Amino acid sequence: MLEVKQLVKRFGDMTAVDNVSFTIPEGKILGLIGQNGAGKTTTFRLILDFLSADQGEVLWKGRKLTEKDYNVIGYLPEERGLYPKISIEEQLIYFARLRGKTKKEIVPKIDEWMEKFQVKGKKTDKVKALSKGNQQKVQLISTLIHEPELIILDEPFSGLDPVNAELLKDGILELKDKGSCVIFSSHNMDNVEKICDHLIMLRNGQMVLDGEVHEIRQSFGRTKLFIESALSLAAIQATDGVLTSKLRSDGIIEATLRDDEVGKELFKQAITFGYMPVFNQLPPTLEEIFKMKVGEGHE
């Protein structure tokens, strides 16, 4: 279990991380979101002791991280870095040995992980001969191949197409099932929503969202409505509490409501016209919530 307690980090007059606290139990995934400069990478560096905190502490399994603990950590930095002139196999063996693994332990796993991430190339190929996407996969494999107990991934989905992003998600979930603690940052809210057990949003170094994804969404109310009926767009727009509305090309009207109760009023109106193929009232998406919270920071 990873415990982060009241972390504070200042750079001169700027507070980059301001009283950040969270816990990640074994076999759970935490997503850390926020704009560029919100404090995500600094938080990761404080956890790893690359930076010294001005206040607070980080505990792994109830105690401070020791040098030996770094062998059970997998860290993917935002700034990628591979050795272009050596082979995939040599690269993966080298990084695994830095984490206390032997060549004998790692070599049998290389083919399995290359197949899992569908790396295009042979393990004897030099890294520089690979496409950018395949180089990124090799970097990810080097982070995960030793099956770390704590995995920290800084923007792991950056630059990956949807197919390869799905492969990465599967790899993360597989290690989660084996009991690993995972924390990652991402600007892709869809990825966060699909695989995270818990979510934290930072804004200017402070925590502005903290909770399970579905709980956070529900806390904003069911203010998104999708309706297909004989009820006209004009009638919907005229209803008190409808903030925005538009007719989509597929014939569904999409509306933003002031609160849940407005949906009940629209349902009463629409049902008088008989059959209604679509009436779906949902909380805002994580991406919409992200934009709302970022907007509050600029008021």
- Read off the pTM: 0.84
pLDDT at 298 over 70: no
- Mean per-residue pLDDT, 69-92: 87
Contacts for 2 with CB less than 8 Å, ≥ 6 apart: 23, 24, 47, 58, 59, 60, 150, 181, 183
DSSP string, 182-246: EEEE-S-HHHHHHH-SEEEEEETTEEEEEE-HHHHHHHT-S-EEEEESSS-HHHHHTSTTEEEEE
Query: Which residues on neighbouring strands pair with residue 97, listed in sequence order?
Result: none
Quickly list H helices, the chain. Answer: 40-47, 88-98, 103-116, 132-144, 162-177, 189-195, 213-219, 233-237, 260-271, 286-296
Of 9 and 186, more confident: 9
- Mean per-residue pLDDT, 238-248: 96
Same fold, 2-217 and 221-282: no
Confidence class for position 258, pLDDT limits 50, 70, 90: very high
Cα–Cα distance between 241 and 260 in angstroms, integer?
10
pLDDT at 264 over 90: yes
Cα–Cα distance between 277 and 188 in angstroms, integer?
31
Domain ranges of the chain: 2-217, 221-282
Confidence class for position 254, pLDDT limits 50, 70, 90: very high
Q: What is the pLDDT of residues 98-126, one digit of tens each?
A: 888 899 999 999 999 999 888 888 899 99
| The predicted structure's pLDDT at residue 297 | 61
- Mean per-residue pLDDT, 285-291: 90
Of 203 and 188, more confident: 203
| Tokens representing residue 138 in the block | 């090799």
Phi, psi of 195 (to 5 degrees): -120, -10
Is domain 2-217 given the CATH code 3.40.50.300 in the classification? yes
Q: What is the CATH number of domain 221-282?
A: 3.30.70
| The predicted structure's pLDDT at residue 211 | 94
